[in-house]
């Protein structure tokens, strides 16, 4: 793994310390594995570590997409759904690999159970790699992959105006030589050129090269670098994230061998046949190997999800007419008061429906309240404005909070402000009702 991530560089020179797990949670995970409350050999994974891992990569993805030049990535709903699913799957296999390696060390060479302290000391290297060095590299690369994925969707949308892409040099202070063969030659090729399926910036871990849209002439076919001087993509980075809609691909060593894992084989077949969107066919086929614990890790509970998705679609359809509506709401400022227009959007409506169907953000707001959203907005009272603590996946740059009474309790209407820029650089500001919560989550604007 070290060579795949860092090549011949020293590991300590390649990582920092910007991301980490909670030490208390990690200690609890060790206890669960040692006391066999979690048995990786049976397909178990520590749930808290899984949630924390998924949360870290979701944060990285949100940051990367917010950094992208594509400010309309939030409208790519199917793409974002598939990309998020890839985070879930990668996180599950990562945690399972860690737990498996740790469990394999419970006994010494003679088969005797180690004491907890002996075991913890014997697995110190595994812990430091998974929970620090490798995590840092994966986190940083996840940011870069998310940005590249969002950029690619923009490249495809704009190729009638900017038909070619130019390989630009790394922004790193200490650039590696592997990709210099491309950027020194100012490699420029059409967006649809198959070269980008085999090579692209970001196909090495921590690579900070990037692509730039251009209408400059493409590099002649005979001048395209090839042969032994062209680096091969690293394991886990062999796919174009903007096409595959995945954070890291299944060539990563955390995943099992595709030759023995039915789920991976079926997923590959579906992808190659263009039937990936019909994922239920893949998962339905997997039910024939329910005894294989690896399939349980994927957590693609399609039958359950299909029922939930059916309800969600009906609710989304019921509030679809709101998209053409705007509500004037009073917004108090420090020295005056005025009104702002708050609208509705398809992607924000999805979030509102999700709020109504679960209790994560509000136990008060119910499905039956969706039909009264305009009325709730109209009689709401302004509370404050706030900025997201982290880059927002839907490119929301500011929140406005309004409170209103609902079923005898106070709830908060979260209005997100989004700024869109067209190809000419003109910026337009929109505000949408995004969420209904029982509490205020974001810090106050400084």
118 vs 114: CA distance, rounded Å = 6
Alpha carbon 64 to its chain's center:
9
Task: Tell me what pLDDT residue 205 has.
Answer: 92
- Which residues are CB-neighbours of 20 under 8 A, at least 6 positions away? 131, 132, 135
Report the 3 state secondary structure along 218-252: CCCHHHCCCCCCCCCCCCCCCCCHHHHCCCCCCCC
Is the model more confident about 13 or about 215? 215
Locate tokens 């995943």: which residue?
Answer: 255
Q: Is the pLDDT of residue 26 over 50?
A: yes
383-393 confidence digits (pLDDT tens): 998 888 766 65
Q: In the numeric block, which tokens belong to residue 218?
A: 């493409």
330-379 confidence digits (pLDDT tens): 765 444 457 888 999 888 888 899 888 876 678 889 999 999 999 999 99
The string of DSSP letters for 72-102 reads TGGG-HHHHHHHHHHHHHHHHHHHHHHHHHH
113-160 confidence digits (pLDDT tens): 999 999 999 999 999 999 999 999 999 999 999 999 999 999 999 999
Q: Is the pLDDT of residue 314 over 60?
A: yes
Please give the mean pLDDT across all residues of the chain.
81
Query: Taking a C-beta distance cutoff of 8 angstroms, is the pair 210, 148 a contact?
Result: yes
Q: In the numeric block, which tokens belong to residue 309?
A: 């998705």
Q: Is the dihedral of CA 237, 240, 244, 245 positive or negative?
A: positive
Q: What is the pTM of this model?
A: 0.63
52-94 confidence digits (pLDDT tens): 999 999 999 999 999 999 989 988 988 998 898 888 888 888 9
Crossing angle, helix 77-104 and helix 346-357, to 10 degrees? Answer: 50
HSE-up of residue 30 (Cα within 13 Å, Cβ side) = 20
Helix (H) or strand (E) holding 387: none
């Amino acid at each position: 793994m070290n060579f795949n991530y860092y090549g011949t560089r020293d590991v300590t020179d390649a990582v920092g310390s910007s991301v980490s797990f909670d030490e208390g949670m990690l200690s609890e995970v060790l206890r669960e594995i040692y006391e066999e409350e979690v048995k990786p050999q049976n397909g178990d994974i520590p749930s808290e570590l899984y949630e924390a891992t998924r949360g870290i990569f979701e944060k990285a993805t949100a940051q990367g997409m917010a950094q992208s030049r594509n400010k309309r990535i939030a409208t790519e709903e199917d793409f974002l759904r598939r990309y998020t699913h890839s985070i879930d799957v990668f996180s599950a296999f990562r945690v399972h690999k860690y737990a498996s390696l740790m469990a394999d060390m419970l006994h010494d060479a003679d088969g005797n159970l180690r004491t907890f302290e002996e075991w913890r000391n014997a697995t110190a290297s595994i812990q430091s790699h998974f929970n620090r060095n490798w995590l840092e590299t994966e986190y940083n690369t996840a940011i870069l992959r998310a940005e590249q994925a969002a950029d690619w969707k923009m490249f495809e949308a704009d190729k009638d105006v900017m038909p070619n892409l130019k390989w630009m040099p790394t922004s790193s202070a200490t650039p590696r030589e592997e990709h210099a063969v491309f950027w020194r030659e100012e490699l420029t090729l059409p967006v649809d050129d198959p070269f980008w399926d085999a090579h692209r910036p970001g196909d090495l871990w921590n690579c900070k090269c990037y692509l730039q849209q251009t209408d400059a002439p493409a590099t002649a076919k005979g001048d395209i670098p090839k042969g032994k001087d062209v680096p091969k993509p690293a394991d886990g980075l062999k796919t174009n994230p903007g096409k595959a809609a995945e954070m890291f691909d299944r060539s990563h060593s955390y995943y099992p061998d595709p030759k023995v894992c039915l789920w991976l084989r079926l997923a590959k077949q579906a992808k190659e046949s263009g039937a990936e969107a019909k994922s239920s066919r893949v998962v339905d086929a997997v039910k024939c190997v329910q005894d294989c614990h690896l399939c349980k890790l994927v957590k693609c509970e399609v039958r359950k999800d299909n029922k939930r998705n059916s309800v969600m679609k009906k609710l989304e359809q019921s509030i679809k007419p709101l998209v053409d509506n705007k509500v004037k709401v009073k917004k108090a400022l420090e020295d005056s008061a005025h009104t702002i227009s708050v609208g509705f959007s398809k992607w924000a409506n999805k979030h509102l429906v999700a709020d109504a169907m679960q209790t994560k953000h509000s136990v008060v707001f119910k499905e039956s309240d969706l039909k009264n959203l305009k009325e709730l907005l109209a009689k709401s009272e302004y509370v404050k404005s706030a900025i997201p603590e982290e880059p927002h996946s839907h490119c929301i740059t500011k929140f406005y909070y309004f409170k209103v009474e609902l079923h005898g309790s106070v709830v908060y209407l979260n209005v997100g402000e989004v700024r869109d820029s067209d190809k000419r650089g003109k910026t337009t500001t929109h505000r949408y009702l995004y969420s209904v919560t029982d509490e205020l989550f974001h810090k106050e604007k400084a």
